[in-house]
Amino acid sequence: MTVVPNELRELVHRSCFALDREDFSEFLSYCAPSFEYRISAYSPEIRKPMIWFDQDYGGLESMFDMVSQHLKRLGTLFRHPSMGIIDRVSDTEMKIVTSVLIVDTDPNGRSKLFAAARYTDTIDLSGTAPRLTARFVNLETRDLGVGSHIPL
């Protein structure tokens, strides 16, 4: 299969839009069964890299099933991806680094920046459609207010 960057760009965007809509089934449909997801940040306070969230495909699935029962932040999070670097790792694997701004809009329609981050996505090209095998989110923003119950 030949994958052109447009298909990769579309995969990243579609995965963001699915999370924006909190359509977790759709998001998982873009992920391979071996999918790994991680959110990390560097703390200059303790001078250490930190992992704030990590789940595999099954862990995300379980977590998504419970989201509706949690008390969640109000409003929506919209992810604004800006594709950066695309590296072909092998014939069947590519890595994409994407800068992302995540905008929080409250129920009254007031928007503010929630987080600035960078995705490093690993994409499997061996199947009929490209699939995410990993998304590592590195946060620049470390004060996330009340936080979030859903991945970024």
Partner 1 sequence: MTARNATDWEKAPAMPAGHFVSGRVYTDDAVFADEKARIFGKIWHLACHESEVPNAYDFRAVDYAGIPLIVVRGRDGMVRTFINVCSHRGAKIVNEPSGNAKRFTCFYHLWSYDDRGACIDIPRAEGYAQSGLRKEDAGLRAVRTEIHLGLVFITLDDNAAPLADFLDGALTAFDDVLGRGDLEVFHYHSAVLDANWKAWQETNLDIYHEFMHVLLRRTQLTAGRMDERAVTLYRNAHALSSGLKAKYENYAGMQARPDALTLPGIAPDDFFYVNLFPNASLLARGTVIRIDTVTPIDARRCLVEWRGLAPRGEPGAARLLRMRHHNQYWGPFGRNVPEDAFAVEACEKGFAGGGAAFQIIAREENMSAQDDGMLRAWYAEWARRMDRLPGDPVRREGEGS
For partner 1, the closer of residues 70 and 80 by Cβ is 70
The least CB distance from residue 147 to partner 1, in Å, is 3
55 vs 92, which CB is nearer to partner 1?
Answer: 55
Give DSSP secondary structure letters for 33-55. Answer: EEEEEEEEEEETTTTEEEEEEEE
* Contacting residues for 51 by C-beta, under 8 A, at least 6 apart: 38, 39, 40
Q: Identify the DSSP state of 25.
A: H
Binding mask 54-93 for partner 1 (x = CB under 8 A): xx--xx--xx-xx--xxxxx--------------------
Q: Which of 29, 34, 43, 126 binds partner 1 (CB under 8 A)?
A: 43
Q: Would you tell me how many other CB atoms lie within 10 Å of the CB of residue 15? A: 23
Query: Does 142 interact with partner 1 (rule: CB under 8 A)?
Result: yes
Site size with partner 1, rule: CB under 8 A: 34
Closest CA to 75 of 106, 120, 33, 119: 106
Answer for the pair 132, 31: CB distance below 8 angstroms, yes or no.
yes
* Amino acid identity at 44: P
Taking CB under 8 A as the binding criterion, the range among 26-34, 40-48, 99-107, 121-129 that sits at the site for partner 1 is: 40-48
The answer to whether the CB of 6 falls within 8 A of the CB of 20 is no
Please identify which residue in 2, 6, 45, 90 interacts with partner 1, judged by CB under 8 A. Answer: 45
Residues that bind partner 1 (CB under 8 A): 39, 41, 43-48, 50-55, 58-59, 62-63, 65-66, 69-73, 142-149, 151
